[in-house]
Every structure is written in structure tokens, then in C-alpha cells.
Amino acid sequence: MAETASDLSPDASAEIAAALNQALAETVVATMLAQNFHWNVTGMAFGPLHALFQTIYEDHFVGQDDLAERVRALGETAEGKLATHLERSKVTEGDASAEDREMIRHMAEAEETIGATLAGLSEVAAGHGDIRTEDLAIERGRIHDKFAWMLRAHLRDRV
């Protein structure tokens, strides 16, 4: 087990940082996705969706910083170009003119994608004994799972 980031080998730090940068890219794209939907949602659920999308992008903005700072703590470079994030991310941009249910679906899929990426990051970190990155990945994963659940709850059809 690595007691500090500096206890990790250069190869381990690079591998963990690559996984962190993947999570960072997806979080950056999802932040903008949530903000886009926050600005443009309409319909009967405007109020709660407008507020939920804001909660998501505010959380993700903080999450970006946590992920990037962990990359730096490992002595690696945190990716900072938007073009690089868009190219690398498995989360895609959304259509501002989409119907509210499509926005919800797209955002829920983004949350699930990030959750899966964070689970992979946790495994990489655990494999190198980096409990701090593993802990960060697990905590962020819980947050994304919760947002996915909250979004999917809006899609349940009424009986």
C-alpha cells in the first residue's frame, strides 16, 4: 500500500493519472451537459428539472477540481483543454432543443457512464495500493449513482 502519492512508482502514477484524466474528461463534458439542459429545459417539470440540472453541474464543477488536483498530487498533468475532454469523453454533448424527457435520459446515461469510469479508476488505484484515489473514485461514484437514480425517477411512467 502506498502511504503517499510519492510512494507510487512512476508507472503506477501514470496509469492512475490516465484513469483520473478519463474521469475528469467525462465530468467536464457532463458539467456542460447539465448546464446546457439547465438553461434550456422547458415543460411541466421545468422548476424541478431546472433545479436538479443546476445541482448536478454545481456538484460536477467541484468534482472536476477534486479529480484534477489528485492528478497533480500524483505528479502528472491534469488535462485542461476542452477539445481534449470532448475527444476523450464517453459522455456526449446534448441538444439544447431536446424534449425534457430526452434531456433526462441523456443526463442519466452520462451519470451512469461516469459511474462506470470511476469504478474502473477505483480498480486501477486499488491495484497499485493508492487508497486515496480509490476513496475519491468510490465517493464520486456514489454521487453519480445517486444523480442517475434521481434522473431515472423522473422517467417512471405513472400507473
Domain ranges of the chain: 8-153
Would the pTM count as exceeding 0.85? Answer: yes
Q: Is the pLDDT of residue 75 over 60?
A: yes
Q: Is the dihedral of CA 128, 133, 137, 138 positive or negative?
A: positive
Specify whether the CB–CB gap between 16 and 120 falls below 8 A: no
Q: How confident is the model at residue 103 (pLDDT cuts 50, 70, 90)?
A: very high
Query: What cell was used for 46?
Result: 421545468
Give yes or no for residue 26 having a pLDDT over 70: yes
**CATH class of residue range 8-153:** mainly alpha
C-alpha angle 101-155-103 in degrees, rounded to nearest 5: 25
Q: Has residue 131 got a pLDDT over 50?
A: yes
Evaluate if residue 93 carries a pLDDT over 90.
Answer: yes
Q: What is the pLDDT of residue 7?
A: 78
Report DSSP state, residue 117: H
Across residues 13-31, what is the average pLDDT?
98
CA distances (Å), origin 131, targets 21, 25, 123: 17, 22, 10
The stretch 89-103 carries a mean pLDDT of 96
Residues composing the chain: 159
Are 54 and 38 in contact by the 8 Å Cβ rule? The answer is: yes
Give one word for 60, left, alpha or beta, with left for phi > 0 and alpha for psi -120 to 50.
Answer: alpha
